[in-house]
Amino acid sequence: MTANAPVTQDVLTIPRKLPEGGKINLVGLTREALHDVLVQHGTPEKQAKMRVNQIWQWIYGWGVRDFALMTNLAKPYRALLEEHFTVEIPEMVSKQVSEDGTRKYLVRIAGGHEVEVVYIPEDGRGTLCVSSQVGCTLTCSFCHTGTQKLVRNLTAGEIVGQIMMARDDLGEWPEKGAPKNETRLLSNIVLMGMGEPLYNFENVRDAMKIAMDGEGIALGRRRITLSTSGVVPEIHRTAQEIGCLLAVSFHATTDETRDKLVPINKKWNIKALLDALREYPKATNSERITFEYVMLNGVNDTDEDAHRLVKLLEGIPAKVNLIPFNEWPGAPYKRSSNNRIRAFATILMQAGYASPIRTPRGEDIMAACGQLKSATERARKSRAQIAAETGQA
Ligand code: SAH
Ligand code: SF4
């Protein structure tokens, strides 16, 4: 595969129904969908609203996934639920903990596929980096996930299930009846794991709605950041239907370079992307759009690039997040030097843009941005290896 591979979004999405006994998994259903399946399977319409609230609180408020433990429901009703439904989240296959405390989980989903989820602790709080697809149909040339062939969309349950799994691991579910726990080890979500979230819009939206629901996981919309490579037609919807913060993988200041780094640029170029961002209804000074910019030695890191970037950002409430390139086996780029990154940041700051340099976390366990690729896939050859062997480098 090369960076010039066509942009495609032909990916498989599996139905919500899990194969196991034909039972319906309740995790990932919106409140409306939960209401509907309960009614379809014997809950009287009159009671349905109350039952939705009760079940919702058990699952998302207290992390209880065994109907038998849902003690405010009558026993026969629990048996009815048991007969038709399951409450399942993806299975944690392994956990690695970095020297810096970053945790990387390998998670198995239906069909035996695997995705990675990363928890990054910071001063008693922490950010969970969630995946939206197995692999990614896009082929950004600096991204390890982009070298993964196998792609499938995650269901809403598999996306919110990653958050629930992390809460399990962090021991962060409050006891029933306890006051709302304000210390949040898992305080923020970034959709920056594997996959392009805007190519799996509905599932990502439903999962984030569940994560934001005040009666459950209750993360505020400003605690969630969705990162996109630039799926222009879906950007507007992100503001309207999810309402979270937006980050954009910008990474280059000319179409020529961006075409190579982020090939979706050939479909929606820099101008089209910036036009969409200028109209992003949620962009305000308090909710600025984050421009992610990976620092690649000799590729996109000159002073001219920094000045061009400043020009391009005009009129958009923006901040820039400079990401030192995280290397992976066979990667075709090198990280810019610290001096180069600082010089680039200085130009942006002098133009009035906050431009923090992202500290790579969990590098020793390959958990840093762009290093994710499921273990089974990682064992396969890298794009560079394949290209070298076939003479297409
Ligand atoms: N598909 C989405 C979200 C996942 S990637 C997107 O592309 O925005 C999350 C961030 O990590 C993106 O900004 C991506 O460009 C960046 N990234 C990918 N590979 C990287 C690498 N090897 N080093 C540093 N950042 C990388
Ligand atoms: Fe996909 Fe994002 Fe990686 Fe590009 S950077 S290949 S869009 S995960």
Position 388 confidence tier, pLDDT thresholds 50, 70, 90: low
Could you give the CA distance from residue 355 to residue 319 in angstroms, rounded to a whole number? 6
Nearest residue to 147 via CA among 392, 391, 387, 390: 387
* Atom 6 of ligand 2, residue of closest alpha carbon: 146
Q: Where in the chain is the domain with CATH 1.10.150.530?
A: 24-86
- Compute the distance from residue 337 Cα to the ligand 2 centre, in Å: 23
| SS3 letters across 257-278 | HHHHHCHHHHCCCHHHHHHHHH
Cβ of 227 closer than 6 Å to ligand 2, yes or no, is no
- Compute the distance from residue 261 Cα to the ligand 2 centre, in Å: 10
Ligand nearest to the CA of 248: 1
Ligand 1 mutation pick, 224, 227, 357, max ligand atoms within 8 A of CB:
227
Q: How many CB atoms within 10 Å of residue 149? A: 9
Position 373 confidence tier, pLDDT thresholds 50, 70, 90: low
Q: What's the predicted TM-score (pTM) here?
A: 0.90
Name residue 189's beta-bridge partners.
128, 224
Q: Where in the chain is the domain with CATH 3.20.20.70?
A: 91-389
Residue 362, classified by CB atoms within 10 Å of its CB into exposed (0-12), middle (13-18) or buried (19+), is buried
Question: Would you say residue 329 has pLDDT above 60?
Answer: yes
Could you give the CA distance from residue 234 to residue 195 in angstroms, rounded to a whole number? 15
How far CA 155 is from CA of 14, 131, 210, 349, in Å, comes to: 7, 11, 13, 40
- The four Cα atoms 197, 229, 6, 153 give a dihedral, to 10 degrees, of -10
- Which pLDDT value is given to residue 328? 85
Could you give the CA distance from residue 174 to residue 143 in angstroms, rounded to a whole number? 37
- Which pLDDT value is given to residue 238? 94
Which is catalytic among the residues 136, 140, 143, 369? 369
18-22, 186-190, 377-381: least confident range: 377-381
Could you give the CA distance from residue 384 to residue 332 in angstroms, rounded to a whole number? 7
The pLDDT tens digits of the residues spanning 233-251 come to 999 999 999 999 999 999 9
Question: Would you say residue 45 has pLDDT above 60?
Answer: yes
99 noted as active-site residue: no
* Atom 20 of ligand 1, residue of closest alpha carbon: 370
Higher pLDDT, residue 355 or 9: 355
Q: Are 139 and 260 in contact (CB under 8 A)?
A: no
User: DSSP label at 328?
Assistant: -
- Compute the distance from residue 264 Cα to the ligand 2 centre, in Å: 10
Could you give the CA distance from residue 159 to residue 153 in angstroms, rounded to a whole number? 10
The pLDDT tens digits of the residues spanning 281-311 come to 666 777 899 999 999 999 999 999 999 999 9
Could you give the CA distance from residue 255 to residue 122 in angstroms, rounded to a whole number? 36
Nearest residue to 208 via CA among 221, 199, 198, 196: 221
- DSSP SS3 for 127: strand
Which parts of 17-134 fold into alpha helices (H)? 31-40, 45-56, 75-84
CATH class label, 24-86: mainly alpha
32-41, 45-54, 341-350, 377-386: least confident range: 377-386
369 noted as active-site residue: yes
Higher pLDDT, residue 174 or 311: 311
Could you give the CA distance from residue 317 to residue 280 in angstroms, rounded to a whole number? 10
Could you give the CA distance from residue 147 to residue 343 in angstroms, rounded to a whole number? 31
Mean pLDDT value across residues 186-197: 95
Could you give the CA distance from residue 331 to residue 318 in angstroms, rounded to a whole number? 29
Encoded tokens for 267 = 């479909």
Question: Would you say residue 333 has pLDDT above 90?
Answer: yes
* Atom 26 of ligand 1, residue of closest alpha carbon: 370
Q: Alpha-carbon torsion 238, 239, 242, 244, what sign? A: positive
- DSSP SS3 for 354: coil
Mean pLDDT value across residues 362-383: 63
Q: What are phi and psi of 261, to 5 degrees?
A: -80, -45
Ligand 2 mutation pick, 196, 323, 325, 372, max ligand atoms within 8 A of CB:
196
| Topology of the domain comprising 91-389 | TIM Barrel (3.20.20)
Question: Would you say residue 381 has pLDDT above 80?
Answer: no
